[in-house]
Structure 1
Amino acid sequence: MVAFTKGHGTGNDFVIIADPDGELELSAEQVAAICDRHFGIGADGVLRVVRSNAIAEGTASLAEEPAAEWFMDYRNADGSIAEMCGNGIRVFAHYLVRAGLASIEPGSTLPIGTRAGVRDVTRSETGYQVDLGRWKLSGVDPLARVRGLDVARPGLGIDVGNPHVVVAIASEQELASLELEYAPILDPQPPAGANIEFVVPGEPLVRDGIGHVSMRVFERGVGETLSCGTGVAATALAVRHWAGERAPDNWRVEVPGGTLGVRMFPAEDGEHVALSGPAQLVFRGEIDLA
């Protein structure tokens, strides 16, 4: 039997498995069975809590930041490996704090290793904030075809440690009409796939210096989820890009599972983007992986 904790960030839910010494090898089939909402626990992904020195990918994390004791080994619901997860890393940090494995005092930072590099987590008014690091336009802007829309829509490719394509939608009604139980088709298809965000600007777009948008997302390796943290960041970056130089650097993004904050800010190595929002642990149990 393997102990687990269930947690979520704005409805983006995860099964957390503590494996500090890296003794547990989870197969893709086991992860998919754990995440199955009918025959398993049910989740959008699995967060394995492992020390950076106990997993091969953690070597790069420790080289980047020797204080990054913990590594977030994140798997999508289909068992595939993912680079990063913005909601997941806040839930991961919350688990570490609640389990007594780490602390985040006011004004302090908790570095966490991921396959996209070390990410710094701090406390915020709404829960936790994670610095997602530098972002970039991917240079590939595919057309997105999705059930519920008569014609394909152009997307903007953005990389925030993992790949995204953000697609503008005309209205809240059109956003609601999308049939995201079916996978959208990207043309051309990015080599590693991508999370696809569908976004509607607020009316008005900017209120009190803060940008407002609504979003739905189809996550690579998962399907539609109630929230996607890195997708929220990509969405805010895309809308700011479309809006032009006078657009704000602070955003509120409404997703089916709640509201998340996004902030863009300058750093020594270029502009970074940060994501803030809640994280909750909801129950614990044991599962037989056999």
Structure 2
Amino acid sequence: MPQTVPFTKGHGTGNDFVVVADPDGAWDPTDAQVAALCDRHFGIGADGLLRVVRAAAIDEGAAAAASGAEWFMDYRNADGSKAEMCGNGTRVFARYLVEAGLADIDDGLAIGTRAGVKTLRRSADGFEVDLGAFRVDAGDVLVRAKGLDVARPGVGVDVGNPHVVVALSSAAELEGLDLAYQPVLEPAPAHGANVEFVVPSDPLVRDGVGEIRMRVFERGVGETLSCGTGVAAAALAVRHWAGAGAPDRWIVDVPGGRLGVSVHDGHVRLSGPATLVFSGEVALA
């Protein structure tokens, strides 16, 4: 008999997820099962899977449970591989918990991830997550991508998961990228990285807020309409390139919509919408 799994489909600016409630940690999906659920032709279709599990019910959630976080976001990429974090996923995760009556966000909601505990609050456009401390690496990485005539330098940014951000010269270059092909990084990071391609607005700063456009190739997924941690990484990279006097607030436009990024006391925060689309049941072989 196939196993029947209740699920909810959700997205944050087009970055979509299969959400599965597993409070007691009874179901640990295989890579193949996750990939089947996320398959856009033969499954539900998604960029990844969010398993909603109590932190105390999963070994990886022990530290989160000890800190007082009740819930752990077990995030899997569309190919089934485990990932440290997902910025858009945290907002969808929070909306699911609140709408399912499993958590209250009025005083902030702490959730465990493989990149540590993240706190979410409501924002004017949905939810805001404190992604925590970040690191911008000084050394350049060469990035080759289909549609670019020559390799371009990228800067490494860590926001709990790894990113390489590349600046392009025009909207035409951004639109001309063919991200059906995975960009090649030199040197290649040991565990891979998400790759963001950005174009600054003209002017870069309006009323004290920076503005950029971005496309992304996500590790273990491919091109997505949005990547929350990638949006944060892109804003941090451009802020780094801009130097002294660069703003701490940014607007980032992605193919799936618009997200906000802000920097406070060495932490980066991401804000934007989160939508639950439909619920159902699916049979797994």
TM-score category, normalised to shorter length: over 0.9
The aligned residue for residue 10 of structure 1 is: 13
The aligned residue for residue 49 of structure 1 is: 52
1:229 aligns with 2:232: no
**How far apart are residue 138 of structure 1 and its match?**
3.7
- Structure 2 contact 136–237 (Cα < 8 Å) conserved: no
- AA aligned to 2:275 is Q
- Structure 2 contact 142–187 (Cα < 8 Å) conserved: yes
SS at match of 2:247: coil
The aligned residue for residue 35 of structure 1 is: 38
Return the alpha-carbon distance in structure 1 between the equivalents of residues 102 and 34 of structure 2: 24
**How far apart are residue 140 of structure 1 and its match?**
4.7
SS at match of 1:263: strand
Return the alpha-carbon distance in structure 1 between the equivalents of residues 244 and 60 of structure 2: 38
TM-score, normalisation: structure 1: 0.96
- Structure 1 contact 72–114 (Cα < 8 Å) conserved: yes
The aligned residue for residue 73 of structure 2 is: 72
- AA aligned to 1:21 is D
Aligned residues: 282
SS at match of 2:160: coil
The aligned residue for residue 237 of structure 2 is: 238
- For structure 1, the 5+ residue unaligned runs are none
- AA aligned to 1:281 is L
The aligned residue for residue 263 of structure 1 is: 262
Return the alpha-carbon distance in structure 2 between the equivalents of residues 198 and 15 of structure 1: 26
- Structure 1 contact 141–165 (Cα < 8 Å) conserved: no
- Residues 95-174 of structure 1: matches in 2 within 5 Å? 95-105=96-106, 108-174=107-173
Flag the 1:277–1:60 CA change in 2: closer, same or farther, 3 A: same
Return the alpha-carbon distance in structure 1 between the equivalents of residues 277 and 91 of structure 2: 14
**How far apart are residue 142 of structure 1 and its match?**
1.1
The aligned residue for residue 196 of structure 1 is: 195
Q: Select which of 11, 14, 23 maps to 1:20.
A: 23
- CA displacement 1:10-65 (0-9 Å, x = unmatched): 000000000000000200000001000000000000000000000001101123x2
1:276 aligns with 2:275: no
- AA aligned to 2:45 is G
The aligned residue for residue 186 of structure 2 is: 187
**How far apart are residue 194 of structure 1 and its match?**
0.2
TM-score, normalisation: structure 2: 0.98
The aligned residue for residue 83 of structure 1 is: 84
Percent of aligned positions that are identical: 68
SS at match of 1:96: helix
**How far apart are residue 137 of structure 1 and its match?**
1.9
Return the alpha-carbon distance in structure 2 between the equivalents of residues 205 and 129 of structure 1: 23
SS at match of 1:2: strand
- CA displacement 1:268-290 (0-9 Å, x = unmatched): xxx00000000000001111111
- Structure 2 contact 12–91 (Cα < 8 Å) conserved: yes
The aligned residue for residue 254 of structure 1 is: 253
Which of structure 1's runs of 4+ aligned residues deviate more than 3 A?
none
- For structure 2, the 5+ residue unaligned runs are none
SS at match of 1:288: strand
Return the alpha-carbon distance in structure 2 between the equivalents of residues 125 and 240 of structure 1: 24
- AA aligned to 2:34 is V
Return the alpha-carbon distance in structure 2 between the equivalents of residues 50 and 141 of structure 1: 38
Could you say what the CA RMSD is over the residues aligned between the two structures, in angstroms?
Answer: 0.7
Return the alpha-carbon distance in structure 2 between the equivalents of residues 60 and 251 of structure 1: 32
**How far apart are residue 139 of structure 1 and its match?**
4.8
- AA aligned to 1:109 is G
